[in-house]
Structure 1
Amino acid sequence: MILMSFGLILIGGLILGKISSLVKLPPILGMIIAGIILGPSTLNWIDPSLLELSPTLKKLALFIILLRAGLSLNVHEIRHLGVTTLYLTIIPALFEIAAYTFLGYTILSLSLLEAALLGSVIAAVSPAIIVPRMIDILTKPYNPKIPQLLISASSLDDILVIIIFTSLLSLNLGESLATSQEISHLLFSIVYGILAGWGISMLFNTVNKHRFIHQQTKFILLLATVAIIGTAEYLLPFAFSGLLAIMSLGITLSQQWKEHTKNTFQSLWKVAEIWLFVLVGAQLSLTSLVNHSFIFILIIIAALFIRLLGVFLALRRADFTNKEKLYCAFSYIPKATVQASIGSLALEAGLIAGELILTIAILAILITAPLGAFLMDTFRDSLLSSDTTPTKSE
């Protein structure tokens, strides 16, 4: 039954994802629907033992997300765009986390920590939906600073939110960060993670110079290394952040390995993406969704407006027209991959609010992914200027 479930997941996700694309919707929506249909809530055609592997598969998908995010970053472009990239990375995400913290505490009766954890799950934007559209814009006669900014900031946004999420999850599990010793432990884990990623990247760059090593072998070594360092923090006797090590590895390799790994990682991600979103759909509690969908939708929309205010604040001093700033706000709407990767971790950790967090995360994907894609595609020509040196006013 496991192999049959494996085949059903791939075929169902592939077919419904393609149908979603044909009707101009993000493929991930079709994959989630495939999971709902195949999962325990409806047909129950997925073997339970396969669902037990879901946490491991999602963790691997998270590793791939961080590596792809690092590989997509161009340090020179980030420096060129300056502080605007930093603002757009931090402010909208913090605004949305704050909104969910308030709404979750006052409306859903969550504790402040649980509400903040909910916000950290949903706050990340989706490069999977944004980046392909920005790459297309780069080939058009529009202001090139817009896609460069959104590609860089959306990737950094994911990394920031994942760091916040892991810290809040530890707090929710009772692992206090209040003492100076524990704060220093967190800081050392960040520093050692970044240094480890940089050091490993130096080794890979050395390997990359040897032509006798086949490119596929290099890719296998890179993937194996990501799997090892991503879980090493649970084995090492000192503070170490595996997620930051993967991110640092990707950023440092971006200049030397980006073109070599692009096509291979794209193929790998296609399979991982189907697995990730179909399994997310299979875990969705339809009962919880039906009983509370109205209030959940209101909370998602309210938090989204707060996020958009954060985007405009982040771009307040940017040298863009008001229409271009509005397009950036539209581009910062869609949620997808990060929510699918970490949305169930609170539930798997045994938190009481875990099922609610997962349900709202999936609903946020279903609402924001098609909405953001529609707004970006529909208003691109009317909002983006062909003038590469826009003024601040219309």
Structure 2
Amino acid sequence: METYIHTIDCNNLLIIFAIVALTGIICSKVSEKIKIPDVVLFLIAGMILGPSFLKFIDISKYGVENQLILTFGSAFILYLGGKEISLKVLKKVKISVLLLSSVGVLISAFVMQSIIGFTFNTSYMTALLIGSIIASTDPATLVPIFNSVKINNKVKQTVISESAFNDATGAILTSAVLAIILSGTFSLKSNLYELIIMVVVGILVGVATGLVLLALVNDKPYGIFKEYTPIVSVLSVVIAYELSTALGGSGYMSCFIVGIITGNKKNFKLWLSQKHYDTDCHVVETLGTICRMAIFIILGTQVDLAVLGKYLIPSILTVLGLVFIARPISVLVCTIFDRKAKWNKREILFMMWVRETGVIPAALCGIIASMKIPGYEIMSSVVFMTILITLIVQGSSTKFVAKKLGLLDEDDKDSN
């Protein structure tokens, strides 16, 4: 009887996977036609397929599997985000990127804590947790946008680099706040110490894992696994995450660092043949696409329409606070002190506007919502509306804003 039940569960999971994959493919094709980010359609499709509508997918029955998909998916997305970082370009704007992805995230989180505390009249720590989740931006969304919008490279690399770094920072901050909520105790000294340990260990494990595993797929002299580069890439994410977590570090930070090393292998005197490089890119990008589909569709299935309706107005007010208060303050504070980058007013205004919320906040929200901690319904509503509004409004208006601010390259201006 027990074996029969397990067989049913296994079959149901396979059906869910098939539905998610097919839905994701259809949504991706539709998004190309109607010119809006695919993740918006993933979210809406998840709502339709979930318990609120058609009841095709109810991931709440599969707690472990849900955690596995969201944890691995977010770790792998961070790895891909790290691969987008160009250390050569990063050197020119490193102060701004460092400040935006650290101080900027903290400013956004604490400003949003005040706004959420006001709009929802919720506890300080619950508001800070939600603020931490939505404080980061999304490289997985920004990269495709900037591929279609030709903007000056300094601004482009700064925004993409910031989004990749602050995803890791946002994940670490969220983990730290969640730990305080679950333990019920707060000590500035001990919690700050734990946060530093998470970052330092995460970086060290990421560097070590990235260098060792990259050497194993290197053309020479130690590349004994170069034929299996895509598999090693996936393994590097799993190993970095698990090893870092076991040592008290941030698994998310480790995966991000592995991505940076992989994406800048020539800086570390490591080489990969074009054949193996192309194969690796194809496999990891495909897996990354599957992860994005799964994360957003699963998040959509967890949205309760009754709860969303209940919290709709305060959620919209919260998003407006994020876009027009928290983000401008964090960008202004973090760029005004970087004299070397020589930011002008138009570039700063553009960076204030571009802050799409995406994969990592969605994954973190899904993980925490499944734990049913106090305030999880408010969190789900805020994160859902933040993703929806920022992607539809800000994502679709990026080119328009860049054009109005005179930041488009000449060839892209001609195409308008």
Please state which band the TM-score falls in when normalised by the shorter chain: 0.7 to 0.9
CA distance in 2, matches of 1:268, 1:387: 32
Helix, strand or coil: the match of 1:145?
Answer: helix
CA distance in 2, matches of 1:186, 1:327: 31
In the alignment, the residues of structure 2 paired with residue 274 and residue 109 of structure 1 have an alpha-carbon distance, to the nearest angstrom, of 33
Q: Does 1:4 align with 2:15?
A: yes
For 1:180 and 1:290, locate their aligned partners in 2 and report how far apart those are by CA, in whole Å.
Answer: 41
**Same amino acid, percent of matched pairs:** 23
1:308 to 324, 328, 333: 328
CA contact (8 A) 1:17 1:29 kept: no
C-alpha contact (below 8 Å) 1:327/1:379 kept by paired residues = yes
Q: Name which of structure 1's ranges 207-216 and 169-178 shifts more when overlaid on structure 2.
A: 207-216
Amino acid at match of 2:228: T
Is structure 2 residue 216 aligned with structure 1 residue 207?
Answer: yes
The partner residue of 2:306 within 284, 287, 300 is: 287
For 2:52, give the aligned amino acid: S
Residue 335 of structure 1 corresponds to which residue in structure 2? 357
1:89 offset after TM fit, Å? Answer: 2.4
The residue identity in structure 2 corresponding to 1:158 is: D
Q: 2:97 aligns with which of 85, 93, 111?
A: 85
1:14-29 matches, within 5 Å, as 14-29=25-40
Normalization by structure 2: what TM-score?
Answer: 0.83
**Cα distance in structure 1, aligned partners of 2:60 and 2:170:** 31
Matching of residue 371 in structure 1 with residue 393 in structure 2? yes
Residue 33 in 1 paired to residue 44 in 2?
yes
Answer whether contact 1:344 1:357 (CA < 8 A) is retained: no
Structure 1 residue 62, shift from structure 2 partner: 0.9
Q: 1:241: Cα distance to partner? A: 2.7
Which residue of 2 is the match for residue 391 of structure 1?
none
Matched, 1:383 2:409: no
Q: Tell me what 1:162 maps to.
A: 171
Q: CA deviation at 1:328?
A: 1.9
Gap change, CA 1:46 and 1:20, over 3 Å in 2: same
Which aligned pairs between 1:86-235 and structure 2 lie closer than 5 A? 86-137=98-149, 140=150, 142-174=151-183, 176=185, 178=187, 180=189, 183-210=192-219, 213=224, 215=226, 217-232=228-243
- Give the length in aligned residue pairs: 382
CA deviations on 1:251-297 (whole Å, 9 max, x unpaired) are 22221279824332211111111111111100111111112201210
Task: Give, in whole Å, the separation in 1 of the partners of 2:226 and 2:60.
Answer: 35
Cα deviation code 1:138-171 (max 9, x no counterpart): xx5x532111211211211211111111111111
Distance 1:184 1:302, change over 3 A: closer
Instruction: Answer yes or no: is 1:272 the counterpart of 2:291.
Output: yes
Gaps (5+ residues) in structure 2?
Answer: 1-11, 266-270, 411-416
- Matched to 1:327, the amino acid is F
Does the aligned pair in 2 maintain the 1:335–1:365 contact within 8 Å?
yes
Partner in structure 2 of residue 44 of structure 1: 55
CA contact (8 A) 2:216 2:226 kept: no
Separation in structure 1 between the aligned mates of residue 108 and residue 188 of structure 2, nearest angstrom: 28
AA of the residue aligned to 1:127: P
Assess, with a 3 A threshold, how the Cα gap between structure 1 residues 347 and 81 changes in structure 2: closer, same or farther.
same
Structure-2 change in CA distance of 1:3 and 1:327 (3 Å): same
- Counterpart of 2:257 in structure 1 is 248
One-letter amino acid of the structure 2 residue matched with residue 314 of structure 1: C
User: In structure 2, the residue corresponding to 1:274 is in which secondary structure?
Assistant: helix
Change in Cα spacing, 1:273 to 1:179, as seen in structure 2 (3 Å) is: closer
After TM superposition, where is structure 1 displaced by more than 6 Å over at least 4 residues in a row? none
C-alpha deviation, 1:134, in angstroms: 2.7
| Separation in 2, partners of 1:386, 1:14 | 31
Report the alpha carbon displacement of residue 50 of structure 1 after superposing the two structures with TM. 6.5
Displacement of 1:250: 1.9
Q: Which moved more, 1:352-361 or 1:191-200?
A: 191-200
Between the aligned partners of 2:408 and 2:374, the Cα distance in structure 1 is: 51
TM-score (norm 1): 0.88
- 2:8 aligned residue: none
Distance 1:201 1:303 in 2: 35
Aligned residue for 1:61, secondary structure, equals: helix
8 Å Cα contact 1:58-1:341 kept in structure 2: yes
Give, as a single letter, the amino acid of the residue that structure 2 aligns with 1:367: I
Shift of 1:199: 1.5
Question: What is the Cα deviation at residue 355 of structure 1?
Answer: 2.0
Larger deviation: 293-302 or 116-125? Answer: 293-302
Deviation at 1:192, TM superposition (A): 2.5
- Equivalent residue letter for 2:54: L
Deviation readout 1:210-253 (Å, 9 max, x if unpaired): 4775656122122123223323456x4x4333222222222222
After superposition, what is the alpha-carbon deviation per residue over 1:31-59, rounded to whole angstroms, capped at 9, x for unaligned? 11111111111110125576532221010
RMSD across aligned C-alpha pairs, in angstroms? 2.6
The unaligned stretches of length 5 or more in structure 1 are: 389-394
Q: In 2, are the aligned partners of 1:91 and 1:311 still within 8 Å (CA)?
A: no
